[in-house]
Structure 1
C-alpha cells in the first residue's frame, strides 16, 4: 500500500488529498517556547498537527491516510534529531478517538526508527 502524494506547501507544512476528496494539512510548529529551561534542546522540539481542510460528506475508512501521515512525519524527521510532541485536541471531546487512531498508526508502521514516549 502506498501513501498519498503530498506536497510541501511551505516550511514544515504539508498537504494531501484522499481518493474520496478529503484534503488534509499536516504541519509542525516549534515548541521551543514551552522548553525555555532546556535551551540545548528547545529548538528541536515540535508539535505535530493534522487539520482537515476540505471534508467530504461521507466518511470512508482509508488506511492510506495513516501511511501518508507516517510518511510526512518520517520526511520531517529525516536526518534530524528532533522531538515531535503530539497533543490530542480536546475542544470537541474527541481526544480519546484521536489518541487511539494515532496509537494504531504508530503500531502499524513502527519499524524501530522512531522512538515513542507517552507522558
Structure 2
C-alpha cells in the first residue's frame, strides 16, 4: 500500500491526520495524542467457495493509546483516506466491517459508519447486513467498478444466514 498520494478527502475543510504504515495497516495520531490503528486482515476463509475468496479482507479501527476524543472531526477523513489507500493498492478487494458489540453500541457504530460512507461514497458500493436479534451489524465495501459485485452481496448474505 502506498501513501504517496495522501490528500484531504473530506467534503469539509478538515484534513485527515497523517498516516504511517504499520505491519497490518496504518496508524495515525490525533492532536490530543490518541493513536489509532486501522488494520486489514485477510478474510479468505469467510467465503472459501467463491472465486473472489482471496480478495476478502476485514478491517478494524482500534484506539491504541492516548485520550480518545469521540467527537474528533478529523477521524472521519482519516478513515476515509485510509480506505482509499487500501483500495488503490487492491482495486478488487472486498472489505468487510463488523461493528463491535462493546458497550452495546453496535447499532450506533453502524449508523455512524453509514453516515461517513454516504458522504464519501463516490466510486464505491456498500452492502449492509443487519441482524439486530444477533447484534450483528456488518457491511461490505467494494469499488463500484468491481465486476458482478452483486455476487459478493449474495455470497455474504448466504454465509451470514448459514451461521445464524
- Whether TM-score is above 0.5 comes out as yes
- In structure 1, C-alpha distance between the alignment counterparts of 2:115 and 2:32, rounded to whole Å: 21
State how 1:85-96 maps to structure 2 within 5 Å.
Answer: 85-96=96-107
Q: Is the 8 A contact 1:20 1:60 kept in 2?
A: no
Determine whether 1:42 maps to 2:53: yes
Q: Is the 8 A contact 2:32 2:66 kept in 1?
A: no
Determine whether 1:2 maps to 2:12: no
Residue segments in structure 2 that go unaligned for 5+ positions in a row? 1-13, 130-164
Q: State the Cα deviation string for residues 58-91 of structure 1 (Å, max 9, x = none).
A: x352221000001001100015211101000114
What TM-score, normalized to structure 1?
Answer: 0.88
Structure 1's consecutive aligned runs of 4 or more residues displaced over 4 angstroms after TM superposition are none
Residue segments in structure 1 that go unaligned for 5+ positions in a row? none
The higher-RCO structure (CA 8 Å, 6+ apart) is 1
What TM-score, normalized to structure 2?
Answer: 0.65
- In structure 2, C-alpha distance between the alignment counterparts of 1:74 and 1:66, rounded to whole Å: 12
- Equivalent pairs counted in the alignment come to 115
Q: State the Cα deviation string for residues 2-52 of structure 1 (Å, max 9, x = none).
A: 111010112x411001112111000111110111111x2001011110100
